[in-house]
Amino acid sequence: MARVYNWQLGREMSYWYPEQRPKRQFAAVFDTNKCIACQTCTLACKTTWTSGKGQEYMLWNNVETKPYGFYPMAWDVNLLEKLGAQNWDGQRYGGRTVFEAAQAGERALGWRPEEIDYAHPNVGEDDCVNGVEKGAHFSGVHNSWFFYLARICNHCTYPACLSSCPRASIYKRPEDGIVVIDQARCRGYQECVNACPYKKTFYNAMTGTSEKCIACFPKIELGMQPQCFVNCIGKIRFAGWISKPENARPDNPIDFLVHVKKVALPLFPQFGLEPNVYYIPPRNVPRDFLLQLFGPNVDAALETYRNAPKDKDLAGLLTLFGSTEMIVAKWKRADEQVIGYDESGKEIVRVPMREPTHVRQAFDAARNVARTNIS
Amino acid sequence: MNARNLGSMRQSDSRSPCVEASLITSSPSLGGRGLEVRVVRKQTYPYPNPLPQAGEGKSTCKSGIVFGLALVLGAAIVFATVLPGCKKAGPPVSDAEVKAQFAKALPSTVDDPIWESAPLHPAKLLLQDLVEPRLMQTSTAFVNVQAATDGQRIAFRLTWNDATADDLPGAARFGDAAAVQLPALTAPDVPSPQMGEEGKAVEITYWSAVFQAVVNGRKDDIRAIYPQAAIDHYPFEAASLKAGSAAQQEMEKRYAPARSLGNPMSGPRKSPVQDLYAEGPGTLRLADKTVSSGMGKRTKDGWSVLLLRPLPQGVQAGGRSQVAFAVWEGAHQEVGARKMRSAWIPLALGASQ
């Protein structure tokens, strides 16, 4: 095991390989508050990449309803239970990562889902527990809560899948940090399935190999965002590049959200993989649950998010979500407009801070007809 | 009586696995009904029975003496059970090394008569507990090895006990498998038995029960793995594409990257065997061409597998080399590095008389 620095933990940690960061790292921000679980992202991915034989129950992208939704079954709670209670000392993680908690003979602490665990994605997640009486209605404070968690591969800086592969069949692309399984080399040992805490590598029984999200790298190479990003109805997703904290640039959208405003947080940072999909936490979820999911910065992130209406830069950048298929490498706000640029500095999108409002009269005098909302 | 104190029954270089009878003077489980005769099927060594079943070969069984005693006691049922067991002759056992018997024509099945006489080496298997991921719990303790050579090629028959036949792939589901490993170059300084080492390669011939099931006729189709599968639609099976046409097949390939790249773990499959090459743990790769052949067959107690491969460079009839074996028990989640394996075992090649 080597010693590597994980900025999400605020400390060094043990990892199978020495620290070797890519030239640039693919990253994303998901705003959980905007997700409506329409599963358009899931289908966009499914139809693009996993319509083959052996991929029937394989979802590189999935959206699950937390706290009781899982794909595969119990993916997070199983590992949390294995890992046991851990603690943060302020910004520094005082507990053990999956690498540090590895049992004898293993490269990471993990577990392997069985077929049945993949067999019922989303079934029952959003069902009402009890029947609803006729005339029932809600009044007062809503104590129940849930939120939708959209998940893809985190293209981690320290991937457990990569470190656990005894054949070194998994690699991080040096040009963009995307984690891929070499389909010519993989022998289907499923060690990666065992090790990935997020369970985002999948065994394909028809090809005899494991497969995973490739962040739509053929699109990334053309400067475009992946399919699940551009098809998102709620415009919750934003793809780009993340720097190390000490190199953060405010004009890089991902850096601005993650490092400058610290409004987007990694999912289960305590596992130690330095995942590169960052989440704006959901607003209406108990704090303890959010602390477990997103780490100690969750209070500050939510405070920043709640204040976004008063923060023109933050609010402005959030309007760029879902505004273009291209990757916005740089951005700036010019008064009431937000401008996105590609890698070369060319303007690719310009979005008003506030959409202009048009008021139409209820009655169209010219046509002598009353307008309806859908006309 | 256990296997260890049957030494007096052994011949110098062969052991009989035949049935013996033993007397049990009281048996609580039988309610103290006095003298009982129990037929105990014992092997004379603690390894799986590699031999053809009852009725084959000549009897060399000395336990017929014991049998006679049982007969005197009037247990007629013993007669029927024991006598056939005494009729078989085991191949000679070679404890110290794998002796490849010279044969002009090498066997192509695990049932070839040559295996009745080819010396048998019970290869002790150890945990692969040196390189992560390791196997932490022992499963298959021994594999019985027999070998034959024609001076160009070598055939191994591996036989081991395995209570479950695991030949279906799936999530968290692994197939049974076995492998033979030889140094790529025969030299006094052998490579590490753990997959060789840099500059000192090993050649591996690998058999998989999953491959074998497909070769035996299991369809290369998702419904063969999941018989209840209900498939809505595969894009490459759209009505607009003529089934089997070049365009259709090309499209189907695009939906199975490992297949389109020719990954040997993917189908279609014609052989249950792969030739592999390694220079240390994690370096395993497919040999430039698989020239070995083989077959595996489910037995009453486990598997019997034939692996037929070329002799490595520099080894010839009458010569010596090293060989190592590995067995994977699928039901025990054994795959890849998680395996039972042997140390190097001396390999002596027979020569024509």
Encode B133-181 in three state secondary structure.
CCCCCCCCCEEEEEEEECCCEEEEEEEEECCCCCCCCECCECCCEEEEE
Reduced to 3 states (helix: H, G, I; strand: E, B; else coil), residue B329 is coil
Residues B68 and B145 both lie in one domain: no
Which residue, among B141, B190, B195, has the nearest Cα to B332 in the 3D structure? B141
CA atoms within 13 A on the CB side of B86: 20
Identity of residue B202: V
Residues of chain B contacting residue A204, judged by C-beta atoms under 8 Å apart: 256, 258
Domain that holds residue B165: 98-218+268-349
A56 at interface of B, judged by CB pairs closer than 8 A: yes
Q: Which residue of A has its CA nearest to B261?
A: A184
CB contact under 8 A, B336 and A206: no
A117 at interface of B, judged by CB pairs closer than 8 A: yes
Token pair, residue A278, equals 């960052």
Residues B168 and B306 both lie in one domain: yes
State the pLDDT at residue A230.
98
Residues B188 and B45 both lie in one domain: no
Name which of B234, B255, B341 to mutate to probe chain A: the one with the most chain A Cβ atoms within 10 A of its Cβ. Answer: B255
CB contact under 8 A, A166 and B173: no
CB contact under 8 A, B132 and A112: no
B267 at interface of A, judged by CB pairs closer than 8 A: yes
Number of domains in chain B: 3
Among B233, B264, B295, identify where a domain stops.
B264
- Cβ-nearest to A113 among B135, B172, B234: B172
- Please indicate, yes or no, if residue B91 is contained in any of the structural domains: no
Would you give the end-to-end CA distance of chain A in angstroms?
A: 65
> Is B329:B339 a contact under the CB 8 Å cutoff?
no
- Please indicate, yes or no, if residue B92 is contained in any of the structural domains: no
In this structure, how many other beta carbons lie within 10 angstroms of the beta carbon of residue B134? Answer: 16
Residues B134 and B202 both lie in one domain: yes
- Please indicate, yes or no, if residue B135 is contained in any of the structural domains: yes
Q: pLDDT by residue (tens digit) across B257-271?
A: 999 999 999 978 899
- Please indicate, yes or no, if residue B93 is contained in any of the structural domains: no
Among B264, B288, B321, identify where a domain stops.
B264
pLDDT confidence band for A91 (50 / 70 / 90): very high
B229 at interface of A, judged by CB pairs closer than 8 A: yes
List, run by run, the mean pLDDT of 10-residue segments along chain B (353 residues).
Answer: 32 33 32 33 38 37 44 44 55 97 96 97 96 96 98 97 97 97 91 95 98 95 89 91 93 92 89 96 91 97 98 91 98 97 97 84
The CATH number for B105's domain is: 2.60.40.1190
Instruction: Please tell me the distance from the alpha carbon of residue B67 to that of residue B44, in angstroms, as a whole number.
Output: 16
Residues B280 and B201 both lie in one domain: yes
pTM of the predicted model, to two decimals? 0.85
Residues B258 and B282 both lie in one domain: no
- Please indicate, yes or no, if residue B155 is contained in any of the structural domains: yes
Residues B180 and B108 both lie in one domain: yes
Instruction: Please tell me the distance from the alpha carbon of residue B123 to that of residue B343, in angstroms, as a whole number.
Output: 9
- Please indicate, yes or no, if residue B327 is contained in any of the structural domains: yes
Instruction: Please tell me the distance from the alpha carbon of residue B344 to that of residue A312, in angstroms, as a whole number.
Output: 71
CB contact under 8 A, B171 and A205: yes
Name which of B168, B226, B265, B339 to mutate to probe chain A: the one with the most chain A Cβ atoms within 10 A of its Cβ. Answer: B265
Residues B197 and B341 both lie in one domain: yes
Residues B140 and B226 both lie in one domain: no
Residues of chain B contacting residue A51, judged by C-beta atoms under 8 Å apart: 234-235, 255
Among B60, B86, B112, identify where a domain stops.
B86
- Residues paired with residue A330 on neighbouring β-strands, in sequence order: A341
State the pLDDT at residue A129.
65
- Please indicate, yes or no, if residue B255 is contained in any of the structural domains: yes
B170 at interface of A, judged by CB pairs closer than 8 A: yes
Residues B305 and B258 both lie in one domain: no
- Please indicate, yes or no, if residue B336 is contained in any of the structural domains: yes
Q: pLDDT by residue (tens digit) across A6-62?
A: 999 999 999 999 999 999 999 999 999 999 999 999 999 999 999 999 999 999 999
Q: Across all residues in chain A, what is the average pLDDT?
A: 95
Residues of chain A contacting residue B134, judged by C-beta atoms under 8 Å apart: 104-106
Residues B154 and B191 both lie in one domain: yes
> Is A338:A361 a contact under the CB 8 Å cutoff?
no
Residues B46 and B160 both lie in one domain: no
Q: pLDDT by residue (tens digit) across B34-77?
A: 333 333 333 333 334 433 333 333 333 444 444 444 444 444 44
> Is A151:A63 a contact under the CB 8 Å cutoff?
yes
CB contact under 8 A, A208 and B169: yes
pLDDT confidence band for A179 (50 / 70 / 90): very high
